[in-house]
Amino acid sequence: MTHTDFHHLLSSLKGLTPEQARQVRQQLDRQSAPPKKRPAPPTGKSAKRAKATPPQAKKPLTEAEFQQHLLNIGLITALPDPSLDIDDDDPEDQPVVIKGEPLSETIIRERR
């Protein structure tokens, strides 16, 4: 799905009735939920050990792990390239020369 199609879909959702929105939400929940598997009931000594082990806490994801997760589930199509964010030598980022007192002094004076 293209970026434009996705935004068109989002704008179409705004016109749904509450009942239609509920149905869409249920469908999305069904599609995103992992399939439920029933574990085999433990027997004997292993059952006692399984009950005694505390559940493991999930550790928070790093930024890179989170971005990789988004890529894996299809929410983004490519990982961001940090090298493209650096534009220190961009000529359009040069200060604008103005006449009179410095702009910062004008702002401070007018705030008083």
How does the average pLDDT of the chain come out, rounded? 78
CB 70 within 8 A of CB 76: yes
Q: 71 lies in a domain? A: no
Q: Which domain holds residue 14?
A: 1-34
CB 47 within 8 A of CB 53: no
pLDDT value of residue 92: 77
Q: 11 lies in a domain? A: yes
Helix residue ranges per DSSP H, 1-112 = 3-13, 18-32, 44-52, 63-73, 103-111
CB 73 within 8 A of CB 61: no
Global pTM value: 0.29
pLDDT digit string (tens) for 67-79? 888 889 988 888 8
% residues pLDDT > 90 (the chain): 6
Indicate the range of 14-28, 51-65, 92-106 predicted with least confidence: 51-65
| Residue whose token pair is 């589930």 | 73
Q: 80 lies in a domain? A: no
Q: 15 lies in a domain? A: yes
Q: 56 lies in a domain? A: no
DSSP state of 62: P
Q: 103 lies in a domain? A: no
- Domain tally, the chain: 1
Q: 58 lies in a domain? A: no
pLDDT at residue 41 greater than cutoff 70: no
Q: 3 lies in a domain? A: yes
The mean per-residue pLDDT over the stretch 90-112 comes to: 86
Which three-class secondary structure state does DSSP give residue 82?
helix
How far, in Å, CA of 88 to CA of 21, rounded?
Answer: 46
